Structure 1
Amino acid sequence: MPAPLLLLLAPLVYWFFRDTWYELDVEAQRERGALLAQGKIDLRAPVAFVIVALVLTVQEYYGGHSTFSHHVKPWLEARARAGATWVQMERYGELYHYAWWAFMRVAGYVLVPLPLWKLLFPQDRIVDLGLRTKGFSRHVPMYLLCLAVVVPAMVLVARQPDFGSYYPFYKQSSRSWFDLGCWEVMYFAQFFSLELFFRGWWLGAMRKSLGSGAIFAMAVPYCMIHYGKPYLEANGAIVAGIVLGSLSMKTRSIYAGFLVHITVALSMDLLALANRGALPRQLFP
């Protein structure tokens, strides 16, 4: 059971980030105090929570298999019947499904919240929502430390019986390196969008309102979007959400966290394929 392990990790995480959390709380108290002194209400947190709820709801109901099967797939099949030779549904049908999934993640996580937030709060700079590059190299050791912790946990998860059958999501990844490459590009785009949404925009939006509490508020739905994945991975998302969220708040950047995420994701896919002897043997299908 991971619960005892989570309890053991809690003091370490607190010790490592307590100064960061304190600074965030001081900043939030100062910002909220200034608003209250002017007789204004802080609308950032309520607006951010509503946007998050709407985005995640749309993702759940329109970003998956049902919408693709009932709307996108028939459209592609109609294009094929009309003579569009590029469609090739029999060969790439599943890949199109995941292309729709990735597109909806990018649209929902990036193309909706960032422009909407800029419209509602024009004084905020987009670059401050997790997109800063200055000082990136200075924080690389912290993320290497994260990898040093995550990799052994990943090896442990890889031994679970449901791991090999779950990854990669795209089951034709073993057919060719082209299939695997296309899948990983879409997978990485989804991860960048996810990091920008949870650790970039959301934390940046709520930084002045909730301080360190924004990190823990973000970690709850971040854990919940892992439901349906292997049990240990879903529990690991709690720690990952808090740790990567704290690092993002400290550095105001999602880039190193994104690199950690895709490194782990690619390793898990390759490990799952290798464990069942299914690594691709040809370049194209």
Structure 2
Amino acid sequence: MTELLRDIRAYLRADFKLALYALTALWVAVLIAINYTLHLENGLIDAQPLSPWRPVWYFGMYATAYYGAFWLWSQFHHRLDIWRNPRFWLHTLVALVVFSYYAGFAGYVDWAQQFSDYRLYLYAYKVFSNLHSILTIVLPLGLYYLFVDKNQSGFYGLKPKRKGLLVYLMLLGLMVPIILFASFQPDFLEAYPTYRNLTPHEALHVPEWLTAFGYELAYGWDFVPTELIFRGFLIIGLSYVLRTGSPQTENEVTTQPAYLTSPAIAQRGLARPGPVLPMIVWYATIHFGRPLGETISSLFGGYILGVLAVSTRSIWGGLFIHIGIAWLMEAAAFWQLH
């Protein structure tokens, strides 16, 4: 745990610049204000759930948020060479295209319609909506990894590591009393458990716990592609891309970012980690269809998980916390209703 905390302090010392963080906060505030004032997510994109243009709209929103924040980061860290790096463009565009397609994908509706019994259709709809990322995210990234990132060590942080395990356990433990308290609130029970009003067990003639268990496994899986893209691909994977960039001017040589010059970062083996700030700005936009408080809190949660990914070179901590909280909320709601 001490080693992990040293890594986090080293990263913060290298990355933190008051003006950069302030301008990034202003940028994300503008994005949030536009979305929640004009209702871009709910009023435009989600208004046509089956439209083939949804991935295009998502791409426009995500790319604007991400590249805007990345431009700020590159300015303050004197990494303008990044914009001349073809691998940077390829890597980030792959992430944007893949996640935009995933967000706008509606093919699982047709898959579910193969079940004529409405009880099975509704269940299949929910399960397929959580599992389609196997084809829309994991498969494309796997192909990119095999044919482009051949020399990467590990598939974007999916290699299990014990480093930071105690910290993740502590963070999840801190959430237990909060979730228990929330489970007594009416608005919590209006949203959870997400497995509700489903009766596939009646159509299949099996115990209800069996279909509920299958649903919860699919529900937990849905957090995998999010961590894989945002903490794995954009933090761990992008760090290898940044190593290929080389300063092009004398000014850039003498003013290289703290990632290259900080002794603490060099000693910890964290040189040129993928920038966390641009990642969390994009991460916030995927919450635009949810309550404002959840979008704002995603910035802080995404930053913590991003810095932990820099240190551990693994996304398992984020998965552990995300899935753990989701299942704890489901369990607390089931407990209250039964």
The TM-score with structure 1 as length reference comes to: 0.69
Instruction: Give the equivalent residue in structure 1 for 2:8.
Output: 17
Instruction: Give the equivalent residue in structure 2 for 1:204.
Output: 236
Opposite residue 18 of structure 1, the aligned amino acid is: R
Provide the C-alpha distance between the structure 2 equivalents of 1:151 and 1:235, rounded to a whole number of angstroms.
Answer: 21
Q: How does 1:1-285 map to 2 (within 5 A)?
A: 17-22=8-13, 41-63=84-106, 67-69=107-109, 71-77=110-116, 89-125=117-153, 127=154, 129-133=156-160, 136-155=161-180, 157-158=182-183, 161-172=186-197, 176-208=208-240, 209=242, 211=272, 214-275=275-336, 277=337, 279=338
Q: Secondary structure at the match of 1:178?
A: helix
Contact persistence 2:228–2:315 (CA under 8 A): yes
Opposite residue 226 of structure 1, the aligned amino acid is: H
String of CA shifts for 1:136-194, please: whole Å, max 9, x gaps. Answer: 33421211232244445545654654322222333246982223211111012222232
Q: Which range is displaced more, 50-59 or 164-173? A: 164-173
Provide the C-alpha distance between the structure 1 equivalents of 2:284 and 2:144, rounded to a whole number of angstroms.
Answer: 25
Question: How much has 1:53 moved relative to structure 2?
Answer: 1.9
Provide the C-alpha distance between the structure 1 equivalents of 2:291 and 2:212, rounded to a whole number of angstroms.
Answer: 21
Q: Which range is displaced more, 263-272 or 110-119? A: 110-119
What is the aligned-residue RMSD (CA, Å)?
3.6
In structure 2, relative to structure 1, the CA distance for the partners of 1:252 and 1:266 (3 Å cut) is same
Question: How much has 1:201 moved relative to structure 2?
Answer: 2.2
In structure 2, relative to structure 1, the CA distance for the partners of 1:58 and 1:255 (3 Å cut) is same
In structure 2, relative to structure 1, the CA distance for the partners of 1:109 and 1:24 (3 Å cut) is farther
Contact persistence 1:203–1:214 (CA under 8 A): yes
String of CA shifts for 1:231-282, please: whole Å, max 9, x gaps. Answer: 433332222211111111100112232122111101111222333x2x4xxx
The TM-score with structure 2 as length reference comes to: 0.60
In structure 2, relative to structure 1, the CA distance for the partners of 1:20 and 1:155 (3 Å cut) is farther
Provide the C-alpha distance between the structure 2 equivalents of 1:105 and 1:229, rounded to a whole number of angstroms.
Answer: 20
Provide the C-alpha distance between the structure 2 equivalents of 1:239 and 1:128, rounded to a whole number of angstroms.
Answer: 25
Contact persistence 1:157–1:232 (CA under 8 A): no
Provide the C-alpha distance between the structure 2 equivalents of 1:118 and 1:187, rounded to a whole number of angstroms.
Answer: 28
In structure 2, relative to structure 1, the CA distance for the partners of 1:138 and 1:19 (3 Å cut) is same
Contact persistence 1:68–1:100 (CA under 8 A): yes
Percentage of pairs with the same residue: 22
Contact persistence 2:223–2:323 (CA under 8 A): yes
Provide the C-alpha distance between the structure 2 equivalents of 1:16 and 1:150, rounded to a whole number of angstroms.
Answer: 24
Question: How much has 1:52 moved relative to structure 2?
Answer: 2.2
In structure 2, relative to structure 1, the CA distance for the partners of 1:200 and 1:173 (3 Å cut) is farther
Contact persistence 2:274–2:310 (CA under 8 A): no
Opposite residue 145 of structure 1, the aligned amino acid is: M
Provide the C-alpha distance between the structure 2 equivalents of 1:273 and 1:19, rounded to a whole number of angstroms.
Answer: 42
Instruction: Give the equivalent residue in structure 1 for 2:38.
Output: none
Question: How much has 1:47 moved relative to structure 2?
Answer: 1.9
Provide the C-alpha distance between the structure 1 equivalents of 2:311 and 2:319, rounded to a whole number of angstroms.
Answer: 15
Any stretches of 5+ residues in structure 2 without a counterpart?
17-73, 202-207, 243-258, 260-271
Contact persistence 2:237–2:274 (CA under 8 A): no
Provide the C-alpha distance between the structure 1 equivalents of 2:137 and 2:194, rounded to a whole number of angstroms.
Answer: 20
Instruction: Give the equivalent residue in structure 1 for 2:256.
Output: none
Contact persistence 2:179–2:332 (CA under 8 A): no
In structure 2, relative to structure 1, the CA distance for the partners of 1:158 and 1:190 (3 Å cut) is same
Question: How much has 1:222 moved relative to structure 2?
Answer: 2.2
Question: How much has 1:207 moved relative to structure 2?
Answer: 1.9
